[in-house]
Amino acid sequence: LRAVVSFRTDDVVGPVRRRLFGSFVEHLGRCVYGGIHEPGHPSADEEGFRRDVLALTREMGVSVVRYPGGNFVSGYRWEDGVGPRGQRPVRRDLAWRSIESNEVGLDEFVRWARKAEVEVMYAVNLGTRGVAEALDVHEYANHGSGTTLSDLRVANGSAEPHGISLWCLGNEMDGPWQLGHKTAEEYGRLAAETARALRQAEPGVELVACGSSSSAMPTFGEWERVVLEAAYEEVDHISCHAYYEVLDGDVDSFLASAEDMDRFIGSVAATADAVGAKVKSPKRIGISFDEWNVWSIKDFEASRTSEWRSAPKLIEDTYDVADAVVVGNLLISLLRHADRVAVACQAQLVNVIAPIRCEPDSAAWRQTTFHPFALTSRLARGEVLRTVVDGPTQDTGRFGEVPVVDAVVTREGEEVVVFLVNRHRHESVEVGFEGGERGVVEAWVLGDEDSGAINTALQPERVKPRGLGVERDGTAVRVVLPPVSWGVVRMG
């Protein structure tokens, strides 16, 4: 098979925003306890944070981390997690049927984020709580001093305000599983009221309203319309969430998951723009794709128990090469929409549906999905160029006819980086593009004869990027992508 990738260096979609390389830490399973935080582990620092997890987070190039949930946040009392550890209450977390010790809370997470060199994106509870509690946590986090809650933060050891600028107004409020689930009208009003209040406190905060928890929700589309009609002027972004898995054994559709992400982003953008026209606003609403990943939800549903446990092993998916290729393709989709997607967070960071895994008795390791994320975050710089692929297509059960090869190109100064994916299960594809006078600086491919290959604590380097052979013929560049592979070519 053969494909040609074309782009023009002056045809720009938008900037490569660093916030596209976000992640997510929820009080869920072993993401916080036994993930970022494990006092007593040989790699733990003086605050109990695992240094090996911190190092991999930095290596992965994560820019922003959403916290503390997720479904967890809809029953969370932020004040349980601040102050002297010995006095913090132990609570039930109904979302994940877990016992929450509250040993880690807002102040600890902000300290962890500094060490990880990431921005904090903080979600407030609009499930069981409302405007007052959102204002309280904002006062605690961002107000300088001289008020009861800001002075409490100072007394708790953080003299400087945390300066959180990105706030989520609740989580997945469209989902019947969500504590305090609301109709679009109810949520739209609450989101607008909370947003107005937060802006009265600090005009410059950036606010994300909850969109749909998936494009398959029965309320998808209508939810966005109603919420934005209520809150258009008050919020900056609307969220999208999407998880992909192999359904009914249909691997070809799974490998083409980015088609769904493209359509999802397109529909939400169109809906937001239609509301903008209706409310006669010149403002453009951004998309915060603040939960995305590969997740075998069917396996999770089958494994649910009724026991109450502390930091249980939950949703610890092991990812193979095919999963990593899908993750790489989802990043291509996010970059392609650089004009619209303002923030994106892979869910989640460690242990829970995560690119980083760790155990109490081993060093943290990189799952297969770590690699396309780390390389994309490191190499995508400057601006995203409009990219056209001319090549073969294949039929899929869920998305109809889709291109076998997907690609996106970024450019910074003279440097051009081409990100590519071959979704075909059996055929290699020869991909050509115009490199001009540029030399090849580096080129990588993630693929394997066994697309089911994985990394484990004992074999942490079984799957990793290998050098990709690049042929030149004058200014023409040619690479061969093996079946089910993701690749990148950097030229400069």
* Least Cβ distance, residue 349 to ligand AHR (angstroms): 11
* Least Cβ distance, residue 462 to ligand AHR (angstroms): 26
* Least Cβ distance, residue 298 to ligand AHR (angstroms): 14
* Cβ atoms 422, 391 nearer than 8 A: no
* Least Cβ distance, residue 446 to ligand AHR (angstroms): 24
227-266 mask for ligand AHR (x: CB under 6 A)? ----------------------------------------
Q: With CB under 6 A as the contact rule, which of the stretches 66-74, 99-107, 330-338, 461-469 interacts with ligand AHR? A: 66-74
Q: E-assigned strands of 16-53? A: 22-24
* DSSP 8-state assignment for residue 19: G
Concerning whether 412 is annotated as a catalytic residue, the answer is no
* Least Cβ distance, residue 291 to ligand AHR (angstroms): 5
Rule CB under 6 A: choose which of 195, 227, 347, 349 binds ligand AHR. Answer: 347
Nearest-angstrom CA–CA distance, 176 and 168 = 19
In the complex with ligand AHR, the residue whose CB is nearer, 274 or 297, is: 297
158-177 mask for ligand AHR (x: CB under 6 A)? -------------xx-----
Nearest-angstrom CA–CA distance, 432 and 200 = 54
Interactions with ligand AHR, residue window 99-118 (CB under 6 A): none
* Least Cβ distance, residue 192 to ligand AHR (angstroms): 21
* Least Cβ distance, residue 451 to ligand AHR (angstroms): 25
* Cβ atoms 225, 278 nearer than 8 A: no
Nearest-angstrom CA–CA distance, 281 and 464 = 48
* Least Cβ distance, residue 453 to ligand AHR (angstroms): 25
Q: With CB under 6 A as the contact rule, which of the stretches 67-75, 144-152, 301-309, 426-434 interacts with ligand AHR? A: 67-75
In the complex with ligand AHR, the residue whose CB is nearer, 322 or 345, is: 345
Nearest-angstrom CA–CA distance, 432 and 407 = 12
Q: E-assigned strands of 267-422? A: 286-294, 309-310, 341-347, 356-357, 365-366, 383-390, 393-396, 400-403, 405-412, 415-422
- Which is the catalytic residue, given 79, 172, 193, 224? 172
When asked if residue 213 is in the footprint of ligand AHR (CB under 6 A), the reply is yes
Nearest-angstrom CA–CA distance, 331 and 398 = 20
Concerning whether 172 is annotated as a catalytic residue, the answer is yes
Query: For residue 83, is it left (φ>0), alpha (ψ between -120 and 50) or beta?
Result: left
The Cα-based distances of 472 to 2, 224, 431, 435, 469 in angstroms read: 16, 48, 12, 9, 10
- Burial string for 360-394 (b: 16+ CB within 10 Å, else e) reads eeebbbbbbbbbbbbbbbbbbbebbbebebebeeb
Rule CB under 6 A: choose which of 57, 212, 329, 348 binds ligand AHR. Answer: 348
Which residue has the closest beta carbon to ligand AHR?
70
- Other C-beta atoms lying within 10 Å of the C-beta of residue 172: 24
In the complex with ligand AHR, the residue whose CB is nearer, 69 or 127, is: 69
Interactions with ligand AHR, residue window 68-87 (CB under 6 A): 69-71
Which among 375, 408, 379, 405 is positioned nearest to 393, based on CA atoms? 405
In the complex with ligand AHR, the residue whose CB is nearer, 70 or 161, is: 70
In the complex with ligand AHR, the residue whose CB is nearer, 29 or 372, is: 29
In the complex with ligand AHR, the residue whose CB is nearer, 177 or 308, is: 177
When asked if residue 491 is in the footprint of ligand AHR (CB under 6 A), the reply is no
370-379 vs 51-60: helix axis angle to the nearest 10? Answer: 50
Interactions with ligand AHR, residue window 361-420 (CB under 6 A): none
Rule CB under 6 A: choose which of 38, 52, 260, 291 binds ligand AHR. Answer: 291
When asked if residue 351 is in the footprint of ligand AHR (CB under 6 A), the reply is no
* Least Cβ distance, residue 315 to ligand AHR (angstroms): 7
Strand 405-412 and strand 415-422: the pairing is antiparallel
In the complex with ligand AHR, the residue whose CB is nearer, 13 or 126, is: 126
Q: E-assigned strands of 145-184? A: 166-169
In the complex with ligand AHR, the residue whose CB is nearer, 38 or 172, is: 172
Determine whether 439 is exposed, middle or buried from the number of CB atoms within 10 Å of its CB (0-12, 13-18, 19+): exposed
The Cα-based distances of 460 to 50, 318, 354, 367, 475 in angstroms read: 18, 12, 14, 8, 38
In the complex with ligand AHR, the residue whose CB is nearer, 355 or 482, is: 355
Nearest-angstrom CA–CA distance, 462 and 454 = 7
- The residues annotated with a catalytic role in the active site are 172, 291
Interface residues toward ligand AHR, by CB under 6 A: 26, 69-71, 171-172, 213, 291, 347-348
